[in-house]
Amino acid sequence: MWTDPTCPVARTVDLIGDRWSLLIVRDAMDGARSFTDFQQRTGIARNILADRLRKLTAHGLLAQVEAPSGKRRQYALTAAGQDLFAVIVTLRQWGERHAFEAGEPHSVLVDEHGAVVPPVVPTSPDGTPLSSGTTSVRK
Amino acid sequence: MWTDPTCPVARTVDLIGDRWSLLIVRDAMDGARSFTDFQQRTGIARNILADRLRKLTAHGLLAQVEAPSGKRRQYALTAAGQDLFAVIVTLRQWGERHAFEAGEPHSVLVDEHGAVVPPVVPTSPDGTPLSSGTTSVRK
DNA sequence: CAGAATGGTTTCATTACGCAACTCAGTGGA
DNA sequence: TCCACTGAGTTGCGTAATGAAACCATTCTG
């Protein structure tokens, strides 16, 4: 099924590598829970949203949970879904750096004190910043 | 044109949020340079590969460069393309954690000394690890 | 120079996506 | 209780994207 079945990047892209899944996860992290909530935030077509919610649920990124007080069922991120946080953040930071013209306004990710989240950078165990030139894939 | 014009995540997903673009970038980081090289590594259809290489080039992630000794032109990552390193790494690490059965073999990212790259985690300026619960998007 | 390899393009069938209309169950107010 | 309303999808259908395979023009290579 995969070109390279042992590559984690390929598997991840196979699960969330489309136009909408990551935006659904983004909005779930930002508090979206209901069908219409997702639909209005993303602007996705309703049938596609239904399909993506099904797939994300089937793959264990989302789960349908009972709402507290007799309300309708809602979608919530599972632990695996929450764990995409670092992916969303790096995507966001790349976009901030490269997808906007100079001076063009865009939203910014801040921590609970309002401080801008500094760039996420992969490092080796001793803290040395890494790049594609200083890393390799071991099979 | 954009899904959400001010969200960096949406813009980034608009550029590379499909089944193949990220795999092309992954392979470029792993040394792929020629058309057939990309085609064989990813298994993508040739017409789609041509289209993606055009788009990635148009968006400034790849550039066509003259090869050293009168060889054919090749594709190389631009600085913006190289800067996707953190995105690829977080996708890879998520996949390692969640897209494989226990004990199922997969490739691993190592630094130049062969040490496994530790999990990338967003932090606030003081080094505190962050999650979706401790961050928010400021418009 | 002939043959092979490279880097695509074209054609056509299949699939995915997007929009609008429709269904259906569960509130919610009079 | 009755019935309108909202939320959560599903269905139908037209358009766009994708994939497989064949085809073509340069560029190497012997």
Share of chain A above pLDDT 90, in %: 84
Q: Where residue A129 falls among pLDDT bands split at 50, 70, 90?
A: very high
Q: What is the pTM assigned to this prediction? A: 0.94
Alpha-carbon distances of A80 from A59, A64, B129, rounded to whole Å: 9, 14, 17
pLDDT score at B72: 81
Q: Between the CA of B42 and the C1' of D18, what is the distance in angstroms?
A: 15
* pLDDT at position A15 over 60: yes
**Closest partner residue to B6 among A43, A105, A115, by Cβ?**
A105
Q: Which A positions 61-90 lie with beta carbon below 8 A of chain B?
A: 77, 80, 82-90
Residues from chain B contacting residue A99 (CB–CB below 8 Å) = 8, 11-12, 15
Question: What CA–CA distance (Å, rounded) separates A63 from A79?
Answer: 10
Give me the tens of pLDDT residue by residue for chain B, a chain 139 residues long.
455 778 999 999 999 999 999 999 999 999 999 999 999 999 999 999 999 999 999 999 999 997 666 678 899 999 999 999 999 999 999 999 999 998 899 999 999 999 999 999 999 999 999 999 999 998 8
Map tokens 């990551």 to a residue: A22
pLDDT score at A132: 95
Whether B8 sits inside 8 A of A93 (CB atoms) is: yes
Average pLDDT over residues A74-96: 97
pLDDT score at A133: 94
pLDDT score at B54: 97
pLDDT score at B6: 87
The answer to whether the beta carbons of residues A33 and A76 sit under 8 Å apart is: yes
pLDDT score at B69: 63
Question: What CA–CA distance (Å, rounded) separates B8 from B12?
Answer: 6
Average pLDDT over residues A133-138: 94
Q: What is the dihedral of CA B83, B46, B2, B33, to 10 degrees?
A: 10
Q: Where residue A70 falls among pLDDT bands split at 50, 70, 90?
A: low
Q: What is the tens place of the pLDDT at every residue in A88-115?
A: 999 999 999 999 998 898 989 999 999 9
pLDDT score at A25: 97
Alpha-carbon distances of B22 from A62, A82, A114, B18, rounded to whole Å: 23, 21, 32, 8
Residue A13 forms contact with B (CB below 8 Å): yes
Q: Between the CA of B79 and the C1' of D26, what is the distance in angstroms?
A: 30
User: Comparing A1 with B96, which gets the higher pLDDT?
Assistant: B96
Q: What is the tens place of the pLDDT at every residue in A21-57?
A: 999 999 999 999 999 999 999 999 999 999 999 999 9
